[in-house]
Structure 1
Amino acid sequence: MEEIKEIADIFSKLDVTELEYENGGVRIYLSKQQPAHTYNISGMAPHGLMQQPVTTVTAPALTESVPSKSANFNDHPGCVKSPMVGTAYVASAPGAAPFVKVGDTVAAGQTILIVEAMKVMNQIKAPKAGVVSHFLVADAMPVEYAQPLIVIE
């Protein structure tokens, strides 16, 4: 038991979010909740707004709209996939209204979300007009290359 306390104490001091330890058939998994992300979208706001103080607000997660991982939309003709590895954001700033929600009508070329990669905010645009039928990611969710993000019918 003392060894577990030592591991937990060391973990709390490390700059890591997860730790898995196994020794003699005993396996321990520790995880920390990460702080909310802040956005810096310098190319998207008028110059005067960028000089105002920044307030950090946690954006609401869209977990109720995220289907289970068993749902497969890879081959769906309206599936919009991530063009890069990064972090998906559903709004232009923390606490702001999402770009789109399930049921919204979108126009071709309309921004539907942002994927941040290497501190650069990349707007993901709708490839076609239609209605958002499925939102496959939550706010601040890590995404992989070619991972389905949204389905547009």
Structure 2
Amino acid sequence: MSGLSFDPDAIRALAKILRETDLSEIELVQNESRIRVARSAPVQQVVQTVAAAPALAAAPAEAPAGVPTTASEEVTAATPGAVASPMVGVAYLAPEPGAAPFITLGARVAQGQTVLLIEAMKTFNQIKAPRAGTVTRILIESGTPVEFGEPLLVIE
């Protein structure tokens, strides 16, 4: 890194912008110089997600219609019919609070139909069914943080 010098105050300012805007990273490029400031998700969120998993596993085997199934540990992105998250964000099963969900268990969906939303950086991204079929499992609850590649639902 000899020859490169960065202004520590500029890096602090970028870090402050990350905190204020809830972004996960910022990258600036000028000529041949590049500054990338990134932060990881707060540990508390990870702990809450992990702590919630045992409670979900204890749920009754037969969920009422419209209630997401909870056996996500049995489903991977490679499971036939699994729809994996294309991004990191927060998944929502309905277009707005109090509205009917996009899908329910047992619902028939058409290829290209919106099945849920993922909010990433204040933008709501429609996640569409990659194939036509029946929703046999919903592996997330509305408002759940999701990771890239995480299975969200199964369409058979």
User: How large is the RMSD of aligned CA atoms in angstroms?
Assistant: 2.7
Counterparts in 2 of 1:66-145, with a 5 A limit? 66-145=69-148
Supply the distance in 1 between the matched residues of 2:98 and 2:92 (Cα, whole angstroms). 11
Asked if the contact 1:66/1:138 (under 8 Å) is kept, the reply is: no
Q: Which whole-Å CA distance do the structure 2 matches of 1:150 and 1:138 have between them?
A: 10
Partner of 1:35: none
Task: Name the amino acid aligned to 1:111.
Answer: T
- 1:97-149 C-alpha deviation (Å, 9 max, x unpaired): 00001100000000000000000000000000000000010000000001000
Contact 1:81-1:150 at 8 Å conserved across structures: yes
| Structure 1 residue ranges, 4+ long, deviating more than 3 angstroms after superposition | 16-19
Q: Do the aligned residues in 2 keep the contact of 1:63 with 1:138 (CA within 8 Å)?
A: no
> Does the CA-based 8 Å contact 2:136-2:155 persist in structure 1?
yes
Structure holding more helix per residue: 2
Identity %: 47
1:69-97 deviation digits (Å, cap 9, x = unpaired) = 43223321211010000000000000000
Instruction: Please report the TM-score for the alignment, with normalisation by the length of structure 2.
Output: 0.57
Aligned pairs, number: 98
Q: Which runs of 5+ in 2 are unaligned?
A: 1-41, 49-64
Tell me: CA distance 1:128–1:69, structure 2 relative to 1, closer, same or farther (3 Å).
closer
Gaps of 5+ in 1: 1-15, 20-28, 31-61
